[in-house]
Amino acid sequence: MNRYQPTDCFVPMTTYQDLLNYLKAPDKSFDQGLKLYNTFKHSTQFDEFFRAAVNPSPDSPEFSVLVEQLYYIEQKLSLNQSFIPDMEKITRTLPAIELQEVRPAKQTLRISENNLVNIDELPSDLFIQYQQNKENWNKIRALHAELRVLPENPEFNLKRKSILAEINTLEQQCRDIWKTLEKWNDHRQDEALPKPVKEKPSEKQINALRRHIARTKAFLKKPNLRKGSYDKYLATLETLQNSLNELIRSTQATDRSQ
């Protein structure tokens, strides 16, 4: 039985070649990617996740997961051509995802908003571990996606076992990293620190930007950093530096006028 059952509502039909062209395109559209996903998806697991997306940007979690899913689908289709659906003989079984302009009741909680650990105050070495933790979860999500499209034939049992072992290893690394972060945070809170000198609002902003720049520079020195992550954080570093320079100039101009 064909594991990839296309969905209805798309005219003209989306083909495997369309999927290849989309993945090679430098500028990708979320809507077009979603049409491809609707055609080749094998479950409805991510439907609600994608449906809740509101004008997702290329660096949003929804966009990243969508492209990630399409890459893994294409990988499996290329390994076994029998999985490619015959577009002339379609069996429509899965509902298509229709994007809606839905505003969530509240913002999605992100790790950086966790009150238990203030990410902005992490030392450079712990910030690198924090970033590694996020990368690990992306890998885990990708490995689960690979498991879902892996054929159920016994010949793939060793591959399935290898993927599960890698997932377990990454999950243990994530647990160890958060234990380290929590231990640092608990120790910091227990220390009797002298009351800091109250800073001006501008000084707080300048110091916060400098800490952020230092952590970003430290992260860029990480070995074996993926090109996509490097380019993203390099652009972030440039934006932070420009903001810092502008804030310093503005503060100096204000001090001279007083």
Q: Is the pTM of this model over 0.85?
A: no
| pLDDT at residue 202, rounded to an integer | 75
Q: Residue 161 — pLDDT band, cuts 50, 70, 90?
A: confident
Determine the average pLDDT of the residues in 160-187. 86
Is 228 found in the same domain as 177? no
Helix, strand, coil shares, percent, the chain, to 5: 65, 0, 35
Residue 244 scores a pLDDT above 70 = yes
Q: Which of 38-52, 70-84, 171-185, 201-215 has the lowest mean pLDDT?
A: 70-84
At position 81, the amino acid (one-letter code) is Q
Is 104 found in the same domain as 32? yes
Q: Residue 89 — pLDDT band, cuts 50, 70, 90?
A: very low
Is 203 found in the same domain as 186? no
Give the number of domains in the chain: 3
Spatial distance between the Cα atoms of 82 and 153, rounded to a whole number of angstroms:
14
Three-state DSSP state, 40: helix
Spatial distance between the Cα atoms of 79 and 20, rounded to a whole number of angstroms:
14
Residue 221 scores a pLDDT above 80 = yes
| pLDDT at residue 8, rounded to an integer | 42
Is 174 found in the same domain as 235? no
Residue 200's domain comprises 194-258
Residue 68 scores a pLDDT above 70 = yes
Q: Of 79, 108, 137, which one is at a domain's C-terminal end?
A: 108
Is 182 found in the same domain as 126? yes
| pLDDT at residue 117, rounded to an integer | 67
Is 3 found in the same domain as 74? yes
Selected residue with higher pLDDT from 51 and 169: 169
Spatial distance between the Cα atoms of 172 and 96, rounded to a whole number of angstroms:
36
Is 210 found in the same domain as 158? no
Spatial distance between the Cα atoms of 160 and 155, rounded to a whole number of angstroms:
10
pLDDT > 90 fraction of the chain, expressed in percent and rounded: 1
